[in-house]
Amino acid sequence: MKVRIDGTTKEVRTIWREGQTIRLIDQRKLPHRFEITTLEDHVETAGAIMDMVMRGAGAIGVAGGYGMAQAALEAIDRDLPEFERYLLEAAERLRSTRPTAANLFHAIERCLDASSTGTVAERVEAVLSEADAIAEDDLEASRQMGVLGNELIDDEVRILTHCNAGALAFIDYGTALSPIRLAHRQGKKIHVFVDETRPRCQGARLTAWELEQEGIPYSLIVDNAAGFFMRRGEVDMVIVGADRIAANGDVANKIGTYEKAVLAHENEIPFYVAAPRMTFDLTCKDGESIEIEERSPQEIVGMWGVDDTRNPSRILIASEGTAVRNPAFDVTPAKYVTAFITERGILSPPFSESIKLTFGEADIS
């Protein structure tokens, strides 16, 4: 990902491992401050996932794998039964952070499978290798989704996004933003409508920031304006990411995605979901089986930003004690999805067949 820091453009990954420590962009500080933070152990990593220091299906999955690597290194001097117990406890702690994101669970299972045989030292090395492989798989999948998704983008196209499914949500490139990046770099004239994405405003804070870094033309809009621009014929396609995709093609993604899909359907606008194999959950029959995370009421009643002097500030926008419901995700039925953009191809309906054909259960579990 290209980042301009003090007048210099640098290539930076969202998250990476340095031995037992994890280094990552603190996404809570963007777009006003760019900071790299360090996580020293798997407990800190679990807390960072829960507190959304990093967020996005891919980044959460990579963080989960790195957290398992940290746990393995923390237990390297224990005997085998204690090592196994410690790793299982770490896995449970990491799983409990964000229940909707499939990538997190797949990453943890991959690391547990890698730790199943050998001496303690051999198992530690296997977990480290698997965690690094998960990160590289994420990077390559994001890049390939850009290549394949770019084929769907014509010149002079206006694209609506929701939430942040860019490089910040993965290691680099992203899912929904990966085809957009490539289309821009190839000289296609595109314009991106960026939903603000309440309540944490990942569109306003993160997607707009990423597009700004790359010089991609965009307009930030309030969430409720998407239908206005669609009805006026100013949106040609919608591309979003996903946090979990069921075997039948139902999609769990950031709250508000369902509304955008219905609006796109009503206005005959193609609605694409970009996601790697790690986001597909063939053990999940349909969207009704997906656990939807509900988060703190504080995300709704207040907002964080900077004041006129650029100092961090939080303000209340509703009175203290206001009754709140705060689901972080919703489910978009498969019937509203035009196609899935994956690293293995564009999947078309019927999704129960194309998903199974492309991602057999043994391949992603």
Q: Is 79 helix (H, G, I), strand (E, B) or coil?
A: coil
What are the tens digits of pLDDT across the range 135-190? Answer: 999 999 999 999 999 999 999 999 999 999 999 999 999 999 999 999 999 999 99
Per-residue confidence (pLDDT) for residue 356, from 0 to 100:
94
Q: Encoding tokens for residue 39? A: 């996580």
Q: Are 101 and 60 in contact (CB under 8 A)?
A: yes
Average pLDDT of 295-306? Answer: 90
Q: Are 252 and 330 in contact (CB under 8 A)?
A: yes
Give the DSSP H or E segment for 93. Answer: helix 80-95
Q: Which residues are catalytic?
A: 243
Q: In what order do the strands lie in the sheet with 329-332?
A: 280-281, 244-246, 251-254, 329-332
CA distance 84 to 87: 5
CA distances from 323 to 150, 292, 297, 316, 318 (A): 44, 19, 8, 14, 10
Per-residue confidence (pLDDT) for residue 2, from 0 to 100:
79
The percentage of residues in the chain with a pLDDT greater than 70, rounded to a whole number, is 99
**Phi then psi dihedrals of residue 281, to 5 deg:** -125, 95
The CATH number of the structural domain formed by 152-364 is 3.40.50.10470
Sketch the domain layout of the chain as residue ranges.
2-142, 152-364
Half-sphere exposure (Cβ direction) of 48: Cα atoms closer than 13 Å: 29
In this model, does residue 364 exceed pLDDT 50? Answer: no
Q: Amino acid identity of 51?
A: D
Considering the entire predicted model, what is its pTM?
A: 0.92
What are the tens digits of pLDDT across the range 58-111? Answer: 999 999 999 999 999 999 999 999 999 999 999 999 999 998 889 999 999 999
In this model, does residue 7 exceed pLDDT 90? Answer: no
What are the tens digits of pLDDT across the range 245-257? Answer: 999 999 999 999 9
Lowest mean pLDDT among 124-138, 219-233, 304-318: 304-318
Q: Is 144 helix (H, G, I), strand (E, B) or coil?
A: helix
Average pLDDT of 338-359? Answer: 96
In this model, does residue 223 exceed pLDDT 70? Answer: yes
Residue appearing with tokens 């359907």: 265
Average pLDDT, the chain: 94
Q: Residue count of the chain, please give it.
A: 365
Average pLDDT of 121-135? Answer: 98
**Region class of 6: left (phi > 0), else alpha (psi between -120 and 50), else beta:** left
CA distance 135 to 15: 9
**Phi then psi dihedrals of residue 289, to 5 deg:** -90, -5
CA distance 165 to 177: 6
Query: What is the torsional sign of CA 115, 119, 125, 126?
Result: negative
pLDDT band at 361 (very low <50, low <70, confident <90, very high): low
Q: Encoding tokens for residue 340? A: 């899935």
Per-residue confidence (pLDDT) for residue 279, from 0 to 100:
94
Q: Are 72 and 92 in contact (CB under 8 A)?
A: no
pLDDT band at 362 (very low <50, low <70, confident <90, very high): very low
The CATH label, of 3.40.640.10, 1.20.120.420, 2.60.120.1440, 3.40.50.300, for the domain at 2-142 is 1.20.120.420
In this model, does residue 365 exceed pLDDT 60? Answer: no
